[in-house]
């Protein structure tokens, strides 16, 4: 039987966990599915990551209402990917915030990304008919901005390229907790198909310099305590490096994409094959690593057609 493309065969519902990672700071996690964060201020709430559809976003809202009745006024989106942003309308927030670069990527490739991700991971698009269209921010910034929910300050920062060109992190200094989006993962494969391998480690160093007490990562369990935080950062660094190096060696000798795929599998399978969405991410990660090693500085736009062409090439 042919192997299912990406996560087309993954129809298993995931267990939701809602964990407090600092005072009035919560991580919504689901066994390797996309995480969301909740920041409760004096008089209102910020959501970090909106889920893939309004129906899935309502699962976040249900958890929020278990701990506060304050209105949700802000949604912060760490990057442009469809599984992170297309549920934003459910929150009815006054402000939707992205980096300038992320907004530009919505304009450049948002529809193509939506079409591609819908094909890759149908379970995450439960209730897709409720999506009103692309999610556009009401507020953007270049390097950093602060928002106050009463006296609680929230710092949004672009620390460097990693998972995408426009990644941001959200830091809550009064509890020294950070929401990193997909720059950091825990026991989940990094999706590198739109990433910057050469920059990712430096961006992880920038996060590490905060010496935070907890991280809500993009996927995987909440990370509470410096030991767990540092372990996840270094595991992420190892995953990215282990993907790029063998692909780069193949590219340097003018080898094929299929040869790069085999080389990456040889190194990564023994270390990461039990990580969530490992098989889903691998073909896109290898394709991007191979491109970057051949001097293609910026990720090419993924489309549903390009996805299948690449998968067929890798499967022979």
Give me the tens of pLDDT residue by residue for the chain, a chain 316 residues long: 346 665 566 667 889 999 999 999 999 999 889 999 999 999 999 999 999 999 999 999 999 999 999 999 999 999 999 999 999 999 999 999 999 999 999 999 999 999 999 988 888 898 899 999 999 999 999 999 999 999 999 999 999 999 999 999 999 999 999 999 999 999 999 999 999 999 999 999 999 999 999 999 999 999 999 999 999 999 999 999 999 999 999 999 999 999 999 999 999 999 999 999 999 999 999 999 999 999 999 999 999 899 989 988 888 6
- Structure-block tokens of residue 316: 């022979």
Residues, the chain? 316
- Structure-block tokens of residue 126: 């439960």
Cα angle vertex 45, ends 43, 49, to 5°?
170
Residue 233 CA to its chain's centroid (Å): 14
**129 CB-near residues (< 8 Å, 6+ apart):** none
**279 CB-near residues (< 8 Å, 6+ apart):** 3, 273
pTM (2 decimals)? Answer: 0.96
3-state helix vs strand vs coil in the chain, percent to 5:
40, 20, 35
């Amino acid at each position: 039987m042919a192997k299912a493309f990406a996560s087309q065969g993954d129809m298993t519902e995931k267990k939701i966990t809602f964990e407090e990672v600092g005072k009035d700071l919560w991580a919504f996690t689901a066994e390797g599915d996309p995480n969301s964060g909740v920041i409760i201020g004096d008089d209102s709430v910020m959501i970090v990551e909106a889920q893939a559809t309004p129906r899935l976003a309502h699962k976040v809202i249900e958890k929020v209402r278990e701990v506060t009745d304050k209105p949700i006024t802000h949604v912060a989106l760490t990057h442009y990917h469809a599984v992170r942003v297309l549920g934003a309308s459910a929150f009815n927030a006054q402000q939707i915030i992205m980096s300038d670069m992320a907004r530009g990527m919505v304009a450049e490739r948002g529809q193509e990304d939506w079409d591609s991700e819908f094909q890759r991971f149908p379970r995450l698009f439960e209730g897709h008919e409720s999506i009103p269209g692309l999610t556009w921010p009401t507020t953007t910034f270049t390097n950093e901005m602060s928002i106050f929910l009463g006296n609680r300050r929230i710092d949004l920062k672009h620390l460097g390229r990693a998972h995408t060109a426009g990644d941001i992190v959200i830091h809550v200094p009064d509890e020294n907790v950070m929401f990193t989006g997909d720059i950091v993962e825990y026991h989940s494969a990094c999706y590198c198909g739109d990433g910057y391998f050469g920059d990712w480690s430096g961006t992880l160093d920038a996060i590490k310099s905060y010496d935070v007490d907890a991280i809500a990562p993009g996927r995987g369990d909440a990370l509470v305590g410096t030991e767990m935080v540092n372990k996840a950062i270094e595991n992420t660094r190892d995953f990215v490096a282990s993907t790029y190096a063998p692909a780069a060696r193949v590219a340097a000798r003018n080898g094929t994409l299929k040869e790069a795929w085999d080389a990456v599998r040889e190194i990564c399978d023994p270390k990461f094959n039990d990580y969530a969405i490992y098989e889903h991410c691998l073909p896109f990660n290898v394709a991007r690593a191979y491109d970057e090693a051949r001097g293609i500085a910026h990720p090419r736009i993924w489309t549903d057609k390009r996805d299948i062409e690449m998968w067929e090439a890798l499967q022979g």
